[in-house]
Every structure is written in C-alpha cells, then in structure tokens.
A = this chain, B = another copy of it.
Amino acid sequence: SDGTVGANKNAIKIIGDNTDLYAQGYFSYDSKKSGGVTISHLRFGKKPIKSTYLIEEADFVACHKQSYVYQYDLLKGLKKGGTFLLNCRWSDDELEENLPASLKKYIADNEIKFYTMNATDIAAEIGLGNRINMIMQAAFFALAEVIPLQDAIKYLEEAIRSSYEKKGEAIVQMNNIAVQRGVESLVKIDVPASWSMATEQEMENSEKEVPDFIKNVLIPMSKQEGDTLPVSTFIGAEDGTFPMGTAAYEKRAIATNIPEWEMDTCIQCNQCSFVCPHAAIRPFLMNEEEVENAPVAFAGKKAIGKGFEGLSYRIQVSPLDCTGCGVCVDVCPAKEKALIMKPLEEQTEEQVPNWEYAMTLPVRDQIMSLNTVKGSQFSQPLLEFSGACAGCGETPYTKVLTQLFGDRMMIANATGCSSIWGASAPATPYCTNAQGKGPAWANSLFEDNAEYGYGMATAMKQIRSRLTDIMEEALTLDIPESHQEALKSWLEGKEDADASKAATEKILSLLQVELEDPKAKELLVEIADKKDFLIKKSMWIIGGDGWAYDIDYGGLDHVLASGENVNVLVYDTEIYSNTGGQSSKATPIGAVAKFASSGKRTKKKDLGLLFTNYGYVYVAQVSMGANQAQFLKAIKEAEKYDGPSIIIAYAPCISHGYKGGMGKSQSYAKEAVESGYWHLFRYNPELKDKGKNPFVLDSKKPTASFKDFLMEQVRYSSLLKEFPETAEELFAKAEVDATEKYEKYLEMSQ
C-alpha cells in the first residue's frame, strides 16, 4: 500500500467509493478551534490495508499553509522520488529566499518532485474566502495519479453537488471552478542543484529567553513533537497544574489579513477591543515620555475624555496573535472605518517593535470607570490569544469578565468549546497581571461543573470563615495598634472587593513583623498560610448551553437553588458546538442540528425564565452585539449580588452558518435582538427587596424581520431547501414562540 500525508480527507472517500482500490485514512488533529493543524494520513492500494499506525514513509506530501515550512518538519518520511505540494504565495525568487535550508536540501537530496500553487489567492478570487480545500484536493488528484484525472474531476463534481446543493447553486459552481483551477494552477519547480548545499543561516532574534515550561513543553508540543517528550519533563507538575499565559508564546500567525489602525478616523470608542475574541487589538495610553521613547511607527493621537489630558491614545494590534476575523472592522462605528484589513505580511513592524513596545507600557485602568465600554478596555485582559474560532461569539464575553474581575476570579469551567479554547494543553490564554494575579481556572467534567464550582465556593467560604475567626481571636490578644487596625479593616471590608484588597495589602505588609504574644504569632502564621483568600473572590461557573440546558441542568438548578453566592455564565450557541453540532434544549424549533436533521420539533427551553421562579436568583439574558452596556451592567450586578446569579449570553457560532461569515458575528448578535429572535432582560432580586419590579426588559419591540434573520443562517436556510413545507411550518412556530416569549417578558416587566 502507498502512503500519502496531508491530502484532504474527502479524497479518500472518492477513491474508496469509485475505484477498486482499498483505502484508509487516519486523521490527526490538534484541538485549536482556529488555525489548528490536521495531518491526514491516507493509504491506497490493490491489497487490503492492515496498517494500524500512522504513515512513516510517504509517496506524497501536501502542505496547505505557507508558514508551516518554518514550524514543522514537513518532509520527514517522504520517500526518495516522492511528490511535495506546497500552497504558497511565493514567486520563484521568493521561494529561493524564504524556504528553509533543511527543506531545500531534503528536496534536492531526495529527488523530490516539488510543486507549488497559490490556492489562497485563487480561493479569494473565486469567492471561496479562505476555503482552499477543494483547490488542494483537485491538485492532489492531478499529481498523485491514483485514478485518471478526468474520472477524479467527475467524482469531485458529484461530491460537490451532493454536499453543497443544499447551500445553493452559487456555492456548487464556485467549488466546480475551484476544482478546475486546482488542476490548472500547479507550478512545477525546477529544483536547483544548489539546494543540496543549502545551509541554515544564523537565526536572529528568535532565540529569546523564555521560561523553562515554554522551552521544554510548549515549543515541542506546538511542533507536533509532544509524543517524544519523556515523563521526566513534567517533574514538578505532578498535580496537573499548568503555568498561565502560555498561549502568548505561541504567536501562531494564522491570519491572512489583519486590521490596520487608521489613526485619523478613529473616534477612540474602544469597541474594536471590546469585541475582539482574541484580545489581539487593544487601546494604549502614553504619557509624553513614553511617546518620546516609542518606536517611530508607534504613533498616537491626543487622547480624548475627562482625565486623559496630556496622554496619547493608540490602538495596537498583535499581528501574530490575530486570527484575521475582521469583527473589529465590522463593529467600528467611525464614519470612515478606522480599521482596514491588510495582508499579514505587510504588517510585520506592528509586531516588532510596536506590539512589543505596547507591552511595556503601564496599564492605565484607574482613569475611567471600568463600568463603561470604553473604560473597561483600558484594563488588561487576562484572557489573551485564545485558540477559539476566528470571530468566536464566546470569548469576548469572558475577556471582558477578566478585565473586570480577573485578578480575583476563580473559574469552574464545563467541558465544551470553552474548555478547549480555555486550556488545551500546553497553551492556556488565561494569564496574570503585573502583580502575578489572574483567574484560577479548572475543568472537571461536562456533567458536574455547577457542583464543582459550588465546591470551590464552599471551600473558599470555609477558609475565609476560618480567617475571620483568626482575626477576631487575634484582636482579643495584645497586638500592636497597626495590626489591630489592619485586622479590623479586613473584618469590616472582607466582603467588598476594593476594601478587602486595601486591607489585604495592610495585612501582608505586617506579616513579617515578629510579635511577642506566642498565640498571636501562631495566628499570624495561619493568616500567612491562607493569604490567597484574604481578597474577596469572584466565583464564576462557566459553560455552554449543552452543559447548562441539558447535561448538568440538574446540578445547575441545585446550586442556584442553594442560595450560595456564585456567578454562572452560559454561552448560548443553541447547539453542542464542541462535539460537532448536536441539538440541545437550547436549540430553537426549526433549526437543523445533529439529532434534529429535519429541523428541531420542540421549542427552545427558556432557561432564564425558569430561574426567575426562585425569586432569589439574579438572572440576565444578554447579547454583546446588541447592547454592550447592558451586558456590562448585567455582569456588574450579578457579581455584586450576594446570592446566586446566572447570565445567559447569545453566542454566535461558526456552526450557525452565517452567510456573512463570523467576521460579522457581532452584527448577527445585534440582528438576533432586533428581529425578536433573542431578548435582553435582567431579573434582580434586590429590586424586589426595594419594592420594585425585579424584572427589567432591556430590549425593545422587534423591528427587523424574524424570517430574514433565520434565512441568513445555514442552520435554518438548509431546512427550507430540503423540506420546504416543514420549514415554513416550523419557522412560523418559531416566530410565534419568540413573539409569545417577548409578550410574556413585557408583561413581567410591567
């Protein structure tokens, strides 16, 4: 049997279905949601294939991404005389200049047949965006010669029709063109003899000083060499604790185009930063000295607003961390957009020196209130560069949470997308601030996350209760005035974030003082032992709708009913996103999902309404794209409320199939509310105690078309194509449900 690594996995189905060849495919993935690596190991042959291992010697290797030539040992195992296909935008000269020496040498030494193709530009040109798969697949058939090319083209066209017919004739035609172009656009490279002499140039600044964990664990794993790490690498990490902020070391460079800041048109609203799913675009403030020391290209403009006198304002992108989703451009409210997408290659100096300089600037988060959209963005996000899908609807919510509460936050995270973008080994985007404080994050199971978080909250409460006892006892002893004052101020302010921070600072400064009273001494040792719990914590229990509506609904209900002071954030993607799009009880009627392939028949469960029944649970339903300020208000109120709270956040997801793409995810989140598909409200038990109506409806009577909103999403439009009558019926029901829901909310708010 033959070996081939890297070709698209559809190919194997076409060959298996249409020829008498035996076929086998192993696909090995990482768990990144965007720009992840997939290695397809395909075997074909006339004899049955019994290999139960990955391909070690290949006849054909294809690389779909130019930058991989630097990141991976691509040709390892490619046979002498084998074929290598590289998707790149390089001309012959650029190829000569940019290909690593080791690759050149391997090609020359092993008589590799080397082809390139600019599938990226072709895909963009014919309207496929960044979907290059069909083009690469056609090229594979043209080169691999497993079956006659004309047959392969016929099979591909059949496969295209069956896969994409539901999505419309235009998509079918685009893909047919992709096949044609894939076959025509191959460039055979004449390998110069000189390549066998190629030697690596001295690496310049890339050998920076990095922590041991990055050097010993993250870099090897990122190079797909994690399997070679010995157990001894993990000495010291036996309890499973991983260091934070490691995603920042990945610098994955997965974007094709990234936003360029247009200083002149920028109105300094910080919305681009607010909505960025990856924390890759942020505002910075500089004083005069910092302006003077800045790199030439690091220009700023006069900061506007109260308290910003004398400061310069700049929006800075981290090109290598940006996914190029374009959400920032979409939300930019400036009359003339202050962000324009530009090829990554043209933005190198934005990384070095600009981003690197920005990282040295002090965080100026005390000037403007964090309770405003603009103000919140001057706070450091403690979730940076997650591997979520480009344009993800979940991460912006969490990022803002970390900007408000991150330095004293504990997170229990359900299994799901958020556990993958939140911490899939070895990289975690959760990070710490300059004081070393950041969210403590952990994930137990899909089915017990609410209980897990409740356990954390209970443990925290017990430890703080013990701290209270200690302080009270210490105050009965003969201790200095300064100690008395510090302990008293903690006892008074321990349930308040700011007051407890101030008191904690006082206490920590006194822990070194030797006291005479042996009992007091002993008590201070115990305080020191528990010092991590002096500052009031912010407990968050986080997960998706599959978790909250289904799998752990019983636990969630139990924890919220308990009355304990925990905060729950639900990313409502209306589907099991991480496991591939299965229907959940959050899936609305009429939506197509796995287990509901002919449209879901039962209506969406009204999770928020259910929890308002308790009367003592804070409940909010939010949609960042529709109302950023309402979302901010909800998280502030929820966090402050001394009882259980839950926030249900509409989270656009790539699986919804928005026709405008995930670069418009915030716009779709807005349209969801304007069309009456989603509603905004807050139920605050504190209002009830004040004799007011606890239920506040924050969204207006719908003004946009409900049906139009559905039709912009493949999860709905595909039903209309396949089962038109059922679709019309279900969509009508869905609209009735949404209207009834709004009317109920309206009634409750009055």
User: Residue-by-residue, is A531-575 near B (CB-CB < 8 Å gives 1, otherwise 0)?
Assistant: 000000000000000000011111101100111000000000000
B616 & A563 in contact (Cβ 8 Å cutoff): no
Separation of A606 and B612 alpha carbons in the complex (Å): 11
- A614 at the A/B interface (Cβ < 8 Å)? yes
Residues of B within 8 A of A168 (CB): none
Residues of B within 8 A of A563 (CB): 601-602
Of the candidates B553, B561, B609, B616, which one forms a contact with A613 in the assembled complex, judged by CB atoms under 8 Å apart? B609
Residues of B within 8 A of A610 (CB): 610, 613
A591-621, CB < 8 A from B: 601-603, 605-606, 609-610, 613-616
Residues of B within 8 A of A605 (CB): 557, 561, 613-614
Separation of A602 and B562 alpha carbons in the complex (Å): 7
- A314 at the A/B interface (Cβ < 8 Å)? no
A602 & B561 in contact (Cβ 8 Å cutoff): yes
Separation of A263 and B614 alpha carbons in the complex (Å): 52
- A585 at the A/B interface (Cβ < 8 Å)? yes
- How far is the CB of A559 from the nearest CB of chain B, in Å? 11
Residues of B within 8 A of A613 (CB): 605-606, 609-610
Residues of B within 8 A of A603 (CB): 614-616
Task: Count the copies.
Answer: 2
Separation of A606 and B554 alpha carbons in the complex (Å): 15
Residues of A contacting B: mostly: loop
- How far is the CB of A144 from the nearest CB of chain B, in Å? 46
- How far is the CB of A277 from the nearest CB of chain B, in Å? 30
Separation of A603 and B615 alpha carbons in the complex (Å): 9
Residues of B within 8 A of A614 (CB): 602-603, 605
Separation of A606 and B561 alpha carbons in the complex (Å): 11
Name which residue of chain B comes closest to A609, CB basis.
B613
Residues of B within 8 A of A609 (CB): 613
Residues of B within 8 A of A601 (CB): 563
Residues of B within 8 A of A602 (CB): 561-563, 614, 616
Interface contacts beyond A550-B554, A553-B558: sample of 20 additional A-B pairs, CB < 8 Å, sorted by A: A550-B558, A552-B554, A553-B553, A553-B554, A554-B554, A554-B555, A558-B585, A561-B602, A561-B605, A562-B602, A563-B601, A563-B602, A602-B614, A602-B616, A603-B614, A605-B613, A605-B614, A606-B613, A609-B613, A610-B610
A552, A561, A601: residue with the most chain B Cβ atoms closer than 10 Å: A561
B561 & A585 in contact (Cβ 8 Å cutoff): yes
Residues of B within 8 A of A558 (CB): 550, 553, 585
- How far is the CB of A692 from the nearest CB of chain B, in Å? 16
Name which residue of chain B comes closest to A555, CB basis.
B554
Separation of A558 and B609 alpha carbons in the complex (Å): 17
- How far is the CB of A366 from the nearest CB of chain B, in Å? 39
Residues of B within 8 A of A550 (CB): 554, 558
Separation of A580 and B615 alpha carbons in the complex (Å): 29
Residues of B within 8 A of A615 (CB): 603
Residues of B within 8 A of A606 (CB): 613
Residues of B within 8 A of A557 (CB): 553-554, 585, 605
- How far is the CB of A454 from the nearest CB of chain B, in Å? 14
Name which residue of chain B comes closest to A643, CB basis.
B602
Residues of B within 8 A of A555 (CB): 554
- How far is the CB of A424 from the nearest CB of chain B, in Å? 27
Separation of A609 and B613 alpha carbons in the complex (Å): 8
Separation of A313 and B554 alpha carbons in the complex (Å): 51
Name which residue of chain B comes closest to A554, CB basis.
B554
Separation of A561 and B607 alpha carbons in the complex (Å): 12
Residues of B within 8 A of A562 (CB): 602
Name which residue of chain B comes closest to A747, CB basis.
B747
Separation of A378 and B462 alpha carbons in the complex (Å): 60
Residues of B within 8 A of A551 (CB): 554
Separation of A610 and B553 alpha carbons in the complex (Å): 13
Separation of A261 and B606 alpha carbons in the complex (Å): 54
Separation of A561 and B554 alpha carbons in the complex (Å): 14
Separation of A551 and B603 alpha carbons in the complex (Å): 25
Name which residue of chain B comes closest to A585, CB basis.
B561
A-B contact pairs, 23 of them (CB 8 A): A550-B554, A550-B558, A551-B554, A553-B554, A553-B558, A554-B555, A557-B605, A558-B585, A561-B585, A561-B602, A562-B602, A563-B601, A563-B602, A602-B614, A602-B616, A603-B614, A603-B616, A605-B613, A605-B614, A606-B613, A609-B613, A610-B610, A610-B613
User: Residue-by-residue, is A398-440 near B (CB-CB < 8 Å gives 1, otherwise 0)?
Assistant: 0000000000000000000000000000000000000000000
The 6 closest A-B pairs by CB, nearest first: A554-B554, A553-B554, A563-B602, A561-B585, A610-B610, A606-B613
Separation of A603 and B560 alpha carbons in the complex (Å): 12
A563, A613, A615: residue with the most chain B Cβ atoms closer than 10 Å: A613
Separation of A551 and B554 alpha carbons in the complex (Å): 7
- How far is the CB of A79 from the nearest CB of chain B, in Å? 52
Separation of A585 and B602 alpha carbons in the complex (Å): 27
- How far is the CB of A733 from the nearest CB of chain B, in Å? 11
- How far is the CB of A535 from the nearest CB of chain B, in Å? 27
- How far is the CB of A583 from the nearest CB of chain B, in Å? 11
- How far is the CB of A620 from the nearest CB of chain B, in Å? 18
Separation of A320 and B398 alpha carbons in the complex (Å): 67
User: Residue-by-residue, is A288-310 near B (CB-CB < 8 Å gives 1, otherwise 0)?
Assistant: 00000000000000000000000
